[in-house]
Structures are given as structure tokens and as C-alpha cells.
Amino acid sequence: MKTSGSPSLRDRIAAPVRDIPRSGIRDFFDIVSTMQDVISLGIGEPDFDTPWHVRESTVFALERGTTHYTSNLGYLELRKALAGYVGKKYGVNYDAESEVLVTVGVSEALDLALRALINPGDEVLYHEPCYVSYRAVILFAHGVPLAIETRAADGFRLTRAMLEKKVTPRTKVLMLNFPNNPTGATMSRQDLEEIAAFARERDLLVITDEIYAELTYDGPHTSIVSLPGMRARTLFLHGFSKAWAMTGYRLGYACGPAEVIDAMMKIHQYTMLCASSFAQKAALEALARPDSDIETMVAEYRRRRNFLVSAFAGLGLECTRPAGAFYAFPNIGKFGLPAKEFALKLLEQERVAVVPGTAFGACGEGFVRCAYATRLEQIKEAMKRLGRFIGRLG
């Protein structure tokens, strides 16, 4: 019982945690979970099942008793496979024993990276709209987030000029996420070369979250870590959730300089210890034959992307054509409703779930995120319902 003059329990919560709002995505889908006949274009999770051979390998691993701790870094066999995959796919070679860390999803890898690199007061540059956790994990690491607003008029690209306006002598880290959640934007090699030059000149460390790297539709993906002079100052983060449809396995990894990986491992071994042993075995199977599974998914996502962009145009909605990931970010500003109100009314009146753009940063006002990680038939019905809704808005 609270006594006179004693602080409330809320006052005892650490300020960086107390002052962070709950995830705009999760709060919205708490509402969705209570409703019937909802077509969800909201949660960023593949609608494909994990490939059968990967699921089967998980069953076999459990049957063989693969239920124990692994090395804090992860199975060496998996780290070797990851180093081989990254070398072949992105042209950057890593030492499996000292430069690869297996984590519990990319989210843990990002948290470890920031806590390993940031001292209180260090600034971190990142671009918005962005995944909901970026600002929070910077604050949890006692860093200072510096948001750079990207614009639809530029295809939501990040430019050196934008970075120059925000950087200060206290800036230590630049965070990147391309292909991007929520906009589907990608970056050309030329764009990345200019940003790489900026990072080198300003002596910044780069954390690049490339969880959607395999999901591109209009051209090859370039990783900034592959550019000259960037391997020594870049942490490459990736995982199995999106391209392999393994979200529930919660498996990611980080590749980078040995000194940084070792620092991340120290935090990891005292908090998470290791990623799931049978999930690591499943990842080995996924890496053994990845191409056909991924190609099938990418082809279907491209088909859905093409339909969705065309449908938005037919409804009079401006939408930057997504070149990667599985999200579209149409502009609904002309209807005069805040993004959250638009999304709630669409859900209540037509049972279509989208995510307000403001969940991804203040510059997301006037937009909603639509994930095309659901069957094309469902997307077509959702567009019919959306058409009825905006018809009533006039």
C-alpha cells in the first residue's frame, strides 16, 4: 500500500522506459483481435508457412534431443554457413569464429549493437518513417536519437544532404534500413556510395538492418557494407523471419568487426545466453537450399505489389511504388483525417486493418501502411472495401 509521501510505482520506473509509448502497431492490433471478418493488411509477417524441409528439420532436431544450450555465439556450424551465405550473397567475407553472432531475431542484434557502441549522450542518426523499435532502442541504450525525415517526393530515399543537416560532433552511429519498413523504399548503389563517403568522412559507425534484403523486385540489392572502406565500420544485421517466413523461430545474426561482435556477445551472454538450439538447426537447413523457396515468395509478392499499386492509382491514392519488402505506404492526406482516425474508421466501417503512418514516426502522418503479406484474393476484397470507404469520405 502506498504511504503518504512515498512515490508511486510509476515514478519508480526508469525514465527511458516510462516515457516510451507502447508500439503503435501492437496497440492497434489489440483492437483488431476483438473483431470478426477483418482483412488484415497490417502485421508485417509473411503469410507463407515456413518451408516444409525447414519445419521437418526442426522436428528431427527435437527428436534428436537438440534442446540444450549452444555456444553464446551460436553453433559454429551455423556461423560458418552464415559467413558463407553473406560472402556469396553480398560479397563480404567474415571470420565465422570471431565476426559472426547468432541472436534472438534482428531486434536483439540491434539492441546489443547499440548498447555495445553507445555511451550516454552519444547521438544516433536514423531515418523515418522507420520500424517502430528504432527510436526506443536508441533511448534504452541512453543514446540521443536524431530522426531524419524522408519524403514521398524523393521515393523515401535517404540522401547525404539530409544527413549533413542533422549530424553534429556528438554523432557516433548511423542506422540504416533498406529495403525499408514501412515504405518499401530501396537505395541505389550510387546513393549508398554517397552515404558511405559521409560515414567515412565523419568517422561514423554504421548499423545496417537488411532483414528484407532478399525481397526486392526491380533490381539487385546493394549492401552498404560491401562498399570500399565500409566493412571495418559497419555492423551487418540480418535474419530468417522475412525471406524464409520463420518469424516464430526468432533467429537473427550480426556480422562485423571482431571487437564489436565480442562486445555484443558480452551483453548477449549475460542476458539472452544463446538463441534457441533447434531454431539454429532449422536455420542451417534453410541456408542449405534457400533460392527456390525465396524465389517463389518474391514472385508472389511482386504480383501482389503490382496489383496493389495499380488499385491505389485507380482509387486516386498517391503511392510510391515499393521496390522491396512487402509494404505499400499510400498517401491518404487528401481526406483530411489524421492517419490514426482514418485507420480506425476503415477498420470499424469496412473491417480492413491498416497501420497508421504515425506508428513509424511523426512524418508518417497522412499515410497508412498496407502489408501485402496476405493472399491476393484478400487484397482484392480489401481494395473493394477501401473504395467504398473513401467513396463515403468524398
Relative to beta strand 100-103, strand 252-255 is antiparallel
Q: What is the pLDDT of residue 121?
A: 95
281 shares its domain with 331: no
Q: Are 385 and 392 in contact (CB under 8 A)?
A: no
Q: How confident is the model at residue 394 (pLDDT cuts 50, 70, 90)?
A: confident
Q: How confident is the model at residue 2 (pLDDT cuts 50, 70, 90)?
A: low
- What is the CATH number for 189? 3.40.640.10
**Tally of CA atoms within 13 A in the half-sphere of 235 that contains its CB:** 30
175 shares its domain with 324: no
Could you tell me the three cell numbers for 65? 534431443
- Asked if pLDDT for residue 24 goes beyond 90, the answer is no
**Residue numbers of the domain that contains 364:** 9-49+292-389
Q: How far apart are CA 172 and CA 155, in angstroms?
A: 27
- Asked if pLDDT for residue 234 goes beyond 80, the answer is yes
Per-residue pLDDT reduced to its tens digit, 48-90: 999 999 999 999 999 999 999 999 999 999 999 999 999 999 9
Instruction: Identify the CA nearest to 237 among candidates 266, 269, 205.
Output: 205
- Asked if pLDDT for residue 3 goes beyond 60, the answer is no
For the chain, helix (H) and strand (E) counts, in that order, are 14, 12
Q: How far apart are CA 156 and CA 337, in angstroms?
A: 22
Q: How far apart are CA 10 and CA 369, in angstroms?
A: 33
The residue behind cell 560472402 is: 87
Is residue 1 situated within a structural domain?
A: no
Per-residue pLDDT reduced to its tens digit, 106-154: 999 999 999 999 999 999 999 999 999 999 999 999 999 999 999 999 9
258 shares its domain with 202: yes
128's enclosing H/E stretch is: strand 123-128
Could you tell me the three cell numbers for 204? 561514423
- Asked if pLDDT for residue 32 goes beyond 70, the answer is yes
Q: How far apart are CA 86 and CA 236, in angstroms?
A: 9
- Predicted structure pTM score: 0.93
Could you tell me the three cell numbers for 82? 552464415
Q: How confident is the model at residue 221 (pLDDT cuts 50, 70, 90)?
A: very high
Tell me how many domains the chain contains: 2
Between 21-25, 112-116, 242-246, the lowest mean confidence (pLDDT) is in 21-25
Instruction: Identify the CA nearest to 340 among candidates 353, 351, 354, 356.
Output: 356
Strand partners, 147: 126
Is residue 333 situated within a structural domain?
A: yes
Q: How far apart are CA 283 and CA 52, in angstroms?
A: 13
Is the torsion defined by CA of 251, 255, 258, 261 positive or negative? negative
160 shares its domain with 196: yes
- Asked if pLDDT for residue 291 goes beyond 80, the answer is no
Phi and psi based region of residue 250 (left: phi greater than 0; alpha: psi -120 to 50; beta: remaining): left
Is residue 204 situated within a structural domain?
A: yes
131 shares its domain with 191: yes
In the sheet with 171-176, reading across from the earlier edge strand, the strands are 100-103, 252-255, 234-239, 205-209, 171-176, 123-128, 144-149
- What is the CATH number for 382? 3.90.1150.10
35 shares its domain with 84: no
**Tally of CA atoms within 13 A in the half-sphere of 191 that contains its CB:** 17
170 shares its domain with 253: yes
Instruction: Give me the mean pLDDT over the 310-327 stretch.
Output: 97
248 shares its domain with 99: yes
Between 11-20, 54-63, 216-225, 293-302, the lowest mean confidence (pLDDT) is in 11-20
Q: What is the pLDDT of residue 27?
A: 67
Is residue 2 situated within a structural domain?
A: no
Higher-confidence residue of 133 and 35: namely: 133
Last residue of a domain, one of 255, 289, 323: 289
Instruction: Identify the CA nearest to 102 among candidates 338, 261, 215.
Output: 261
269 shares its domain with 310: no
Phi and psi based region of residue 354 (left: phi greater than 0; alpha: psi -120 to 50; beta: remaining): beta
189 shares its domain with 67: yes
Instruction: Give me the mean pLDDT over the 240-246 stretch.
Output: 96
